[in-house]
Structure 1
């Protein structure tokens, strides 16, 4: 398993630079290419049917022009071409290839149609404005792509330090297992990896020691840790552990219980995503 393409979806120009920094931090070590996808909400003017606008093609083009005019796409493309020249890849790595494409018909459509054929998607912010949903792009990436997601919220970890102290939040469930397997190429680059279980370990899935053995057989050295839940929620206890360990990246499964229930009423996933200050690797 490898991560060949890192997909960076954009809807606003000001989100590009922080996202691209994290993409570059991973791409050099993974030998991956980066695709920046600028996503328009409207239809592609080049494919508008005359019937769509009542016979006025020029008018139909104007319906979508406002989306494209929000950003100078050609200027952005030129800026992207200079990034590899200023980026220093890690030892043994290479300058990643960066491409930009424009996509139409909105974030859900693009991430369902395009994102599913990419290996890693960078999205953010992951913070929720309420306890119902995370940011619309983050939610769409998770639920529509079925791929590995690197969520960037109010991140206080520099891209170059992201793989220094990686914590895997482990509950033995299918979602966490799927995330670990998809993230193996990234875990192999990590300096330090710990597998933490919060509170009483699950009796229905692999233990932390089982996961440590699994990782060791795949060239990832990790240590198992148990952290008490006490009177905290699982999410609060996990955040406390991350702070104590000065973690730089969290890996966790998303919506490991009832997805609809967690989205509406809250749960560990929502609790962590709306409060965390570091990148999160996850999948559903």
Structure 2
């Protein structure tokens, strides 16, 4: 998320907003980044600083430090330039969490969990634990009920809203930790990514061809979130994933451009919010220790402010 003004966004991993480093990947420093990445980073920076009107081929050349005409050679049309920006946006958002940052995670076969983050479609997270769930048959599924949803996520598990699925593969605490870490990192370290995402999303509402590309790019985040929700025991993973997306998107926008831009919740507060949301989805209590916020060391807080 971002603050109310783009210039107030905190520095990215390799630089401050307003420089090509603001959107540079930690794995791809400017000195070794590909030309496509440099163009994408510069395009995102311009969106944050100047908005859609400031995004031109010439401006990207100048921001990226490339010879005049380089951006036009890479992306000849404005649509192609916007697609380059969307593609880079997805790449950077997928790196907000590293593969080993699903706290205390272990997949169904003992593999370490892995988490992604909110993409253009607003989803948060992906886990190997959930991936393993896709290949497991559903025990006790009603006759004719599919074992997987069309996107490969586990199908609806037996049991009503107040009865969690009996074969949950992903501990709720693990899911809460991953989601709260990703969201808190957006709100504190990657606000510029949220500003550029909102600029692209708004432009997609005016350009049908960009809408199709934007949605397709963001769809890579949706299936894994549905799978994670199912693996945590959701009886209705598609609907519950939508609720998680809506809650995250609303909070991100409020803290990036809305009335809560100066009052970012702590990780502990975000954790409490996710606990309350998932408790309502999955039913039952929070379990031992789940009633307390256990974010970063020494970080304790109450309910989420937004």
Whether the TM-score (by the shorter chain) exceeds 0.5 is: no
TM-score, normalised via structure 1 length: 0.27
TM-score, normalised via structure 2 length: 0.26
> Going by fraction, where is strand more abundant, 1 or 2?
1
